Structure 1
């Protein structure tokens, strides 16, 4: 349990990639603060399971990642209750698909706030705490869309490109303080949210399940395989190791070859 004695914040972690990352960190011994929305009983069950995995404390914060003051308060609580934070995984994100001329301004503002500005606010508050300990790991879930674009996703692509640039900048600012700052850029990840989209796409396009998966969802991924949440979590966990201390300012692609094309 190489993270025993360390503490972590994982945003957007009540399901999907974030929850897989929280579980991986807890399994390695870290105390963890999870964050996000969902059923209260289900979240409490996950919190208890994280404590069982780590043998350390696990907390839950309902902080809205679109609210800078709420992020500051979450960091303050995590610091007071768990110490650190030594590790932060910025994973919260939302999406909306629309041509730019029809893109609702409120959707643009919300996507930029949650997908990009939340990362800035988190970094601003945790970097001084990490500098004080001369050790820290900041990892942001970006996307293949931090490197390439797709139509009708202007806000998401802009935000994820922003995360990639912010990661490089803060990595340079913290390079001599024992802190690494990296991004992980998955392609399409198999999550319950993706799975739920398949029947509707089958109906609207008159396609079979296999056609939706291979010709729609995985059209851009040469492997024709979804990335798994555990693969993303494994990369995040590796970036927390001392062996990864020379990796900073990097954007790690986990996309089945999508961005190699």
Structure 2
């Protein structure tokens, strides 16, 4: 009997975004920072957008290819203009407030939807003409498990993420004929300052000590009992920009540790 010849699985080539321009919002920290560094490492020129000038300077220091741009994305005209000429757009910027609906400030609700739904729409609107013109583009919307599931006390955030999911799918349908893909990445709780800052509010809303928030609230529905790291999310974003993901569009890449498996 002739022994079977071992088959070596092909190795995917490293992501090469040389000559491409990427824009990442919320780039001064957390997921956005990790995405900016990952795309720059792949050769892209990265427009790192945030309203945190100090954080952007720290990001750009010693990171060739990253261009810091201080911008408040609630200035919607400026957001749209900033996206002109981009090949890769990562809509990541977001804020969070944990309150019951009857106590949720209407002005904050409005701001959350402006930043997390209207601004991505305007950024996409600004980016699409260039993408369509070259018949190639990658739009990655950093959504959340809360784009697929709801949690109490997060009315604005859950509403915004569900809206972002719908926007992403619509853009996928319109962009398909033009070589443009649009997808969401859906992590559960990520080890970021955004998550750390909500622990006190979660404790108050749920009536438990702060030290119990991680196990009893944040990781309660996750099969994997840990926070996901920003670099793990950035790797998913990078994959959606790769040739191997060119057939993926209009979908949600779920990184929730088994939360939605229930």
Q: TM-score under structure 1 normalisation?
A: 0.88
Structure-2 separation of matches of 1:132 and 1:33:
20
Deviation, structure 1 residue 257: 0.7
Residue of 64, 67, 90 corresponding to 1:59: 67
Counterpart of 2:59 in structure 1 is 46
Question: Structure 1: how far apart are the matches of 2:177 and 2:156?
Answer: 33
1:174 to partner: Cα distance: 0.6
Q: CA deviation at 1:198?
A: 5.4
1:8 aligned to 2:17? no
Q: Structure 1 residues 237 and 86, CA, compared in 2 at 3 Å: closer, same or farther? A: same
Displacement of 1:200 = 8.5
Partner of 1:140: 141
Counterparts in 2 of 1:136 and 1:187: CA distance versus 1, 3 Å: same
Structure with larger Rg: 2
TM-superposed deviation, 1:73? 2.9
- Could you report, residue by residue, the CA deviation over 1:174-201 in whole angstroms, capped at 9, with x for unpaired residues? 1011111000011011123434555887
How far off its partner does 1:43 sit?
2.4
Asked whether the 8 Å contact 2:83–2:124 carries over to 1, the reply is no
1:29-58, Cα deviation, whole Å (9 max, x unpaired): 111010113352x4223213321xxxxx32
Superposition TM-score, scaled by structure 2 size: 0.87
1:20 maps to 34
Higher helix share: 1
Q: Which consecutive residues of structure 2, in runs of 5 or more, have no partner in the other structure?
A: 1-14
Shift of 1:213: 2.5
Q: Distance in 2 between matches of 1:97 and 1:190?
A: 17
Q: Over the residues paired in the alignment, what is the CA RMSD in angstroms?
A: 2.0
In structure 2, distance between residues paired with 1:38 and 1:125: 22
Aligned position for 1:259 = 260
Cross-structure match for 2:51: 37
Provide the residue aligned with 1:117 in structure 2: 118
1:43-83 CA-to-partner distances (Å, cap 9, x unmatched) read 223213321xxxxx32111111112111023224xx3xxxx
CA 198–151 in structure 1, closer or farther in 2 if over 3 Å, else same: closer
| 1:72 equivalenced with 2:80 (yes/no) | yes
| Mapping 1:40-189, distance limit 5 Å | 40=54, 42-51=55-64, 57-76=65-84, 79=85, 85-189=86-190
Number of residue pairs matched by the alignment: 246
Q: Distance in 1 between matches of 2:202 and 2:163?
A: 30
Where structure 1 has 5 or more consecutive residues not aligned to the other structure, the ranges are 52-56, 80-84
Deviation readout 1:120-158 (Å, 9 max, x if unpaired): 111111111100011000000111111111112111111
